[in-house]
Amino acid sequence: MFICTKQKNSGRTGRSNTLPQQTVFCLVRHGSTDWNVEGRIQGWTDTRLNADGRREVEEAARRLQGRGWEGIVASDLKRARETAEIIGHELGLEVLFFPKLRERSFGPLEGMNQAQVEVAYPGSRPERELPGLESKAELRSRAEQAFSFLARIFEGRRMIVVTHGGLLKAFFAQSLQTEERTVANAETVEVVFADGNWRFN
């Protein structure tokens, strides 16, 4: 379920006998990769952060310091792993990896830019005809399940979650009933789960 990596002291605090009703997540999109710059579809392809991406994440980590975060959960894809490990190192937090936080699987589209997709699959070819391409409905369902699970596991905590732009868009649309919101590389967005509902913080 979770894969754990060692960092410095976790910085977690003890829990009181009365469980808090509010769980806070700081959602972080991974830093930039060369494929982001080139406009190529990444999906489950295991790309790494580039130098700009690492700098972006270091800056994000500095903004997150001193705010009582207790741990980090991240997608297991390399660009998210690196992002989480940089933040974990800076904040002294334990990092857990959760594969359900992966980006949308784009199957045969991965590695292509938009122009190449239009040449390879002209017109409005149905998604279901592309093997390995996760539909938007499937992605939204996975995002909702993943965050609902994390909200139960980390009830009352303040956790950082490192994931991907596509999964965040799906989560916002499915669980916060918003339009699909674009999150920039290394951008942070806080959400709260309380009384069975999600909201932006």
Phi/psi for 27 (5° steps) reads -85, 130
Q: Which of 56, 70, 94, 103 is catalytic?
A: 103
Active site residue 180: no
Active site residue 70: no
The pair of three-digit structure tokens given for residue 92, joined into one six-digit string? 């002294």
How far lies 142's CA from each of 29, 146, 156, 167, in Å? 17, 6, 22, 9
Instruction: Report strand pairing: 71-74 vs 95-97.
Output: parallel
Residue 65 buriedness (CB in 10 A; 0-12 / 13-18 / 19+):
exposed
Indicate which residues carry an active-site annotation.
30, 103
